[in-house]
Amino acid sequence: MNITVDGLTSIYHAGTPFEHIALDHLTTTFEPGKYYAIIGRTGSGKSTLIQHLNGLILPTEGEVQVGDLTLGKKTKQRIIHQVKKHVGMVFQFPEHQLFDETILKDVMFGPLNMGFTEAEAQARAEKYLSLLGVPERAFGRSPFDLSGGQMRKIAIAGILAMEPEVLIVDEPTAGLDPKSHIEVMELFKRIQQEFDITIILVTHDMNDVFEYADEVKLLAAGGLIREGPTEDILTDELLLTDHHLEIPDIVKLTHDLERKGIVFETVPRNTEAF
């Protein structure tokens, strides 16, 4: 599913003394099955942009086209509801939205809400819990007995069970221990590759962007400054520094070695080194 953002302007508190332009005539495209990272310093508009992609906020001006559905200034709830079926969103600290008495019921909640029968919802919940490596004997446990990292994975399974074609993830590893951090990031990469889902990641972690994203979109002051392959943008130390972003460790190391006259080639993911 293609998402096209066309001349998107987003103004908070329009027409009041608190009026604030968060996005200013932004145009870009998200192609199916790719892994995107949206980066930029705090306040650049990342969170506003992703909320437009699934209809949580409607444009002040311009349009967002999600497949053949159009989100504009006056789009009706019926269309927004359709868009939300295609575009899933994992908010920051998604475990805060867990509420049911068992893990299984919590993951079934989304599919049930979409109109699936109990049996269908249960089949989906079991599929995604298994994908996450949750053993069947744990399905009846309370999600509140789990560790922070496990709770987050259950919450993510609840979004995956709705089988969105596009999955937006906002700072998905905030507050996680290093092991859960890697597990959660590997999970998104896996579902992108196995189910051909588009992933749109918002993060401050440039190591994760370098490791996982195919394409990067750099925002500043509500505008799109640069977009393109991850390697082109994340190896540009000046650009990253200008935007108060960390330089990925591997890029720092490679450039340090180059300065010492040692040429070091990074091996692309999933490529065997000989």
For ligand ADP, give the closer residue by CB, 40 or 94: 40
- Residues of span 33-52 touching ligand ADP by CB under 6 A: 40, 42-48
Tokens in use for 112? 């049930």
For ligand ADP, give the closer residue by CB, 20 or 190: 20
- Within 8 A by CB and 6+ apart from 194, the residues are none
Least CB distance from residue 106 to ligand ADP, whole Å? Answer: 27
Place of tokens 């994992």: 90
Least CB distance from residue 187 to ligand ADP, whole Å? Answer: 23
Considering the rule CB under 6 A, would residue 223 count as an interface residue with ligand ADP? no
Return the amino acid letter for 106: D
DSSP secondary structure letter of residue 10: E
For ligand ADP, give the closer residue by CB, 22 or 125: 22
Looking only at the bridges linking them, the beta strands covering 69-71 and 35-39 are unpaired
For ligand ADP, give the closer residue by CB, 46 or 86: 46
Q: Which H/E stretch holds residue 214?
A: none
5, 100, 122, 132 from 107: Cα distances, Å: 31, 9, 8, 12
CA torsion sign, 48 to 66 to 189 to 116? positive
Least CB distance from residue 87 to ligand ADP, whole Å? Answer: 17
- Residues of span 97-136 touching ligand ADP by CB under 6 A: none
For ligand ADP, give the closer residue by CB, 20 or 252: 20
Least CB distance from residue 185 to ligand ADP, whole Å? Answer: 20
Least CB distance from residue 19 to ligand ADP, whole Å? Answer: 9
Of 165, 163, 184, nearest to 173 by C-alpha is 184
- Residues of span 7-36 touching ligand ADP by CB under 6 A: 12-13, 20, 22
Least CB distance from residue 225 to ligand ADP, whole Å? Answer: 12
CA torsion sign, 122 to 125 to 130 to 136? negative
For ligand ADP, give the closer residue by CB, 20 or 244: 20
Per rule CB under 6 A, count of chain residues that contact ligand ADP: 12
For ligand ADP, give the closer residue by CB, 44 or 173: 44
- Within 8 A by CB and 6+ apart from 227, the residues are 28, 215, 216, 217, 218, 233
- Within 8 A by CB and 6+ apart from 113, the residues are none
Contact status, residue 57 vs residue 80, Cβ threshold 8 Å: no
Least CB distance from residue 246 to ligand ADP, whole Å? Answer: 15
Q: Which residues bind ligand ADP (CB under 6 A)?
A: 12-13, 20, 22, 40, 42-48
